[in-house]
């Protein structure tokens, strides 16, 4: 029993470090996912805006030909 009490602070220390590491990893993963999703959203929005620009150019050409 004395052996167990001797290692108890070490076990709790390792457990606290493991929990801390797990929480930090989850936070960084969530931040990374938000950044990646923002980049994807930005790319999609840019593609849509380019398509709209191209359509407006075509419409402008058609109207100027009349």
Q: What is the pLDDT of residue 4?
A: 78
Q: What is the pLDDT of residue 40?
A: 82
Q: What is the pLDDT of residue 52?
A: 96
Provide the residue-wise pLDDT of the chain in tens; the chain has 66 residues: 678 788 888 999 999 999 999 999 999 999 998 888 888 888 889 999 999 999 999 999 888 876
For the whole model, what pTM was predicted?
Answer: 0.58
What string of DSSP letters covers 1-60? Answer: -HHHHHHHHHHHHHHHHHHHHHHHHHHHHHHHHHHHHHHHHHHHHHHHHHHHHHHHHHHH
């Amino acid at each position: 029993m004395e052996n167990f009490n001797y290692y108890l602070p070490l076990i709790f220390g390792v457990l606290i470090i493991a929990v801390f590491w797990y929480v930090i990893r989850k936070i960084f993963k969530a931040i990374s996912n938000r950044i990646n999703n923002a980049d994807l959203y930005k790319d999609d929005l840019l593609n849509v805006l380019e398509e709209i620009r191209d359509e407006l150019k075509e419409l402008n050409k058609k109207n100027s030909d009349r």
